[in-house]
Amino acid sequence: MGQFEEDFHKEQSRINDVVKKMKIDLSLLENQSSTVKSDIIEIRKNFWEDVTVNMDDAVEAGETATSIKQQAEFLAEHEHRHKHLDRDKKNLKRLIHTPYFARIDFKEDGEQEVESFYLGIASYLDRETDEFLVYDWRAPISSLYYDYSLGLAKFSAPAGEVCGELFLKRQFIIKDSVIEGMFDTGLTIGDELLKEVLGRQSNTQMKSIVATIQKEQNKIIRNEKGKLLIVQGAAGSGKTSAALQRVAFLLYKYRESLNSEEILLFSPNPMFNGYIRNVLPELGEENMQQTTFQQYIEHVLADKFAVEDAFSQMEYMLTAREDHSERRRISANFKSSSNFKVIVDKYLHYLSKQGLIFNDILFASEIIIRSTDIYNYFYSLPSELSITNRLLLVSEWLLSEVKKREKDEIKKPWVEEEIQYLSKEEYQFYFQKLSKQKRFSQDTFDDYEREQQLLSKYVVKRKMSPVRKSIKTYQFLNFKEIYMQMFTLDMSTLFKEISISESDWQEICTFTLSELNSHRIPYEDATPYLYLQEKIEGFRTNTRVKYVFIDEAQDYSKFQFEYIKNLFPNARFTVLGDINQAIYTHQAYTGFEGLEELFVGEHIEKIILNRSYRSTKQIIEFTSAMLENKNEIEPFNRQGNKPQIIQKRTANEIISGITEKLKISDSNKTIAIICKTQKECNIVYEKLKESELNINLITKRSNQFEEGIVIIPAYLAKGIEFDMVIICNGSISEYGNDELRKLFYTACTRAMHELIIYFTGEVSPFIKEIPKELYEEVLLS
Ligand SMILES: Nc1ncnc2c1ncn2[C@@H]1O[C@H](COP(=O)(O)OP(=O)(O)OP(=O)(O)O)[C@@H](O)[C@H]1O
């Protein structure tokens, strides 16, 4: 038997031993879990029997409450235990399937022996010997595997740095407790396993990458210092993957003080949430909270406006008549720039001296406090106070005015009338309240005068309650008008400082006012609107969230970053993006400089990922050639066919070409037909439907990443990948404008193994620029 066979044999026999122990533990866990489950059923069934219920007097009622509380706690404790056992069971089942993926042999300085450590998705302790048979990939020692090749190595343990030498790095592919592959490697993480993993077909669900995390990615995952961690990474360089493994790492490292509810991920669209849903559970962790920025703004603004989303804005830009889309582009571009923030901040300054717009306070359709009085009161307050603090004082003043008004109202005839018309239930309700009060005030119960007086007070208070509520929620502030006013003032002094012409500003003003007057808020206005509102009314912060992740961050404006930062004052931020995929060209994207400015004085770390793992070498070479910074992206050496560029005479011929391709392609593959817009997707879908192939149309409302063949607009395909990508129309007529370069690049970089681009007439200039040897061309003869 050769050395390899011998090692292989030994390793398999270790796995057999470890799995045997795991199976015994699993059956113990199963027994414990079923006992706890029966206890829970029993407790639920007998809940009321085990509680002493006696409401005879206050003391007895108090004891009853305590008894119920104790019983509920007893139940909760059992349920909690059951949940934990369930989680342990699931982890153990995963470990039995794949006990580990790597082994490292390490000799610590000062020690005689080389020790072997096996790494898996969770730790496993031998209960008899108290020895770790598997180490969690997030344990301190595991970082040796990700960070070092053979030779001198060190890792940070809780007690300090541990130095030594790494003698072996062995990787395994294990399925159903059987070794399917084993590689010894001297490199950081051997290419063999990575090649194996990357060569597999894509899936509708993203997978965890713990067995093959690369050194640069590991820096992201284990980063603990920065208040802000910025990751600029090429398409397919593993930004999303690193972010998700980082969540798992944080949940492990801070398991005593951090839970998944305190981590929030902003993702590009709802479908993406579905795409990444399985990664953390696969690693034995619960998913973090997930949202999209759109969901957030809609949550806040939807009761006032029809809120446009980024995709509708994009679709409009791509499909509207050129003069219309140009006007819109100027507006969107400007509003997401720092220049507009200068205007908003100047406007805030202006408002601190004059110009806030208030609503009258009404009671029963009668004005009880005039907006002019509120205005005067507000501006009579010391101007050194912030607007927010002055508003607080205004609301206190208004509430005291309302109180005075309540006193006057009590004597009015409507009150007596209202008392007479109180329903039986209402009367009883007040009666009970009154009796309670009388108990304390020692009044005689049948004191009719007093009763009448108190009832009047209650009736008036109740009637005034919406007024008080509206004051507390600042409805006396006409915020919509305040925002609109910004587009009506003479801001000419500002234009000296910022780069916008008077005529462009006028265009922007006309467009914005017309939209807001029609109760529509354009996407580019939503964040400035909220920003201004929060600056005036005070930020509604979420102090619970400790980590915020922003994926596809190149699509966020400085306004949005600032808004998110203010919203989560206690959070650390991990922001991941790719400058080459900034598809919202109007967004005036300037890299992450704007973001860094928001964190001046705080610890910022920046990591750049240049190596791309998603696509074959041929696809990466082809797609990177479209970019200005061509040489910065390093392909992983995985071979495939060159991208194909196919010319057709007509759009209908393209459809026939696609149909033929689909018919001969492997049905297990994920295939995306990517069009520039939703409008085109709909047309192509209608035509392809006739082919009897099973095809799914993806729209911005899709929550699910469908299996098989999908038709999807380029801007929705961000972040996702497919075995094969077919670009429906790569003609100059579709992708001729340089502003669409990044959109085209994003669409092409979704391909893992195959990329096919159809066109009619003349091909897009982005392709013409690519050296011919990087693709295969099928032209009409
Ligand atoms: N270390 C790794 N080991 C194995 N696979 C990896 C590794 N890093 C990335 N991948 C794979 O590469 C593909 C791209 O990863 P991911 O989607 O995280 O990249 P991204 O940088 O977010 O891409 P994009 O910006 O283009 O959306 C995925 O299939 C992922 O599983």
Q: For 687-738, write each residue's pLDDT tens digit.
A: 998 887 889 999 988 877 777 899 999 999 988 999 999 999 999 999 988 8
236 labeled binding residue: yes
The gap from C-alpha 329 to its chain's centroid, in whole angstroms, comes to 26
| Integer Cα distance of 437 and 290 in angstroms | 48
Q: Is the CB of 578 under 6 A from ligand 1?
A: yes
pLDDT at 586 over 80: no
pLDDT band at residue 440 using 50, 70 and 90 as cut-offs: very low
pLDDT at 524 over 80: yes
Give the strand order in the sheet containing 776-778: 695-697, 709-713, 671-675, 722-727, 751-760, 644-648, 776-778
For the ranges 341-350, 372-381, 418-427, the maximum mean pLDDT occurs at 372-381
Which residue's alpha carbon is nearest to atom 30 within ligand 1? Answer: 238
Q: Which residues pair with 674 in a beta bridge?
A: 712, 727
Q: Where are the alpha helices (DSSP H) in 599-674?
A: 617-624, 651-664
Closest CA to 708 of 747, 681, 669: 669
Which residue's alpha carbon is nearest to atom 1 within ligand 1? Answer: 213
Which residue's alpha carbon is nearest to atom 16 within ligand 1? Answer: 238
Give the mean pLDDT of the chain: 88
14 alpha carbon – ligand 1 mean position (Å): 32
239 labeled binding residue: yes
pLDDT at 556 over 50: yes
43 alpha carbon – ligand 1 mean position (Å): 48
Q: Is the CB of 235 under 6 A from ligand 1?
A: yes
Q: Is the CB of 233 under 6 A from ligand 1?
A: yes
Q: Which pLDDT does position 712 carry in this prediction?
A: 95
607 alpha carbon – ligand 1 mean position (Å): 15
Which residue's alpha carbon is nearest to atom 26 within ligand 1? Answer: 235
460 alpha carbon – ligand 1 mean position (Å): 64
246 alpha carbon – ligand 1 mean position (Å): 14
Higher per-residue pLDDT: 419 or 90: 90
Out of 23-37, 488-502, 590-604, least confident range: 488-502
Ligand 1 atom having least distance to the Cα of 581: 25
Mean pLDDT calculated for residue range 680-685? 94
Q: Which pLDDT does position 496 carry in this prediction?
A: 64
45 alpha carbon – ligand 1 mean position (Å): 50
Tokens for 52?
């002493």
Mean pLDDT calculated for residue range 510-515? 92
Q: How many CB atoms lie within 10 A of CB 37?
A: 15
Q: Is the CB of 213 under 6 A from ligand 1?
A: yes
Torsion of CA 762, 768, 774, 779, to 10 degrees: 20
Which residue's alpha carbon is nearest to atom 29 within ligand 1? Answer: 614
237 labeled binding residue: yes
Out of 316-325, 348-357, 386-395, least confident range: 316-325
Q: Which pLDDT does position 454 carry in this prediction?
A: 78
Interface ipTM > 0.90: yes
pLDDT band at residue 443 using 50, 70 and 90 as cut-offs: low
Q: Is the CB of 554 under 6 A from ligand 1?
A: no
Q: Which pLDDT does position 574 carry in this prediction?
A: 97
Residue with tokens 């939807």: 302
Mean pLDDT calculated for residue range 25-54? 81
Tell which one of 240, 279, 608 to mutate to probe ligand 1, the residue whose CB is within 8 A of the most ligand atoms.
240
pLDDT digit string (tens) for 64-76?
777 778 878 888 8
Tokens for 558?
């400085």
Q: Where are the alpha helices (DSSP H) in 189-302?
A: 191-198, 215-221, 239-253, 270-275, 279-282, 293-301
| Integer Cα distance of 293 and 283 in angstroms | 27
pLDDT at 225 over 90: no
CA angle 213-215-216, nearest 5°?
A: 100
- Percent composition of the chain: helix, strand, coil (DSSP 3-state, to 5): 50, 20, 30
Left if phi > 0, otherwise alpha if psi is -120 to 50, otherwise beta: which for 284?
Answer: left
Tokens for 83?
């949940």
Q: Which pLDDT does position 52 carry in this prediction?
A: 65
| Per-residue b or e along 308-317, where b marks 16 or more CB atoms closer than 10 Å to that residue's CB | bbbbebbbbb
Tell which one of 195, 237, 636, 637 to mutate to probe ligand 1, the residue whose CB is within 8 A of the most ligand atoms.
237
Q: Is the CB of 245 under 6 A from ligand 1?
A: no
614 alpha carbon – ligand 1 mean position (Å): 6
Q: What is the CA radius of gyration of the chain?
A: 33
Cβ(104)–Cβ(169) below 8 Å: yes
Mean pLDDT calculated for residue range 279-285? 90
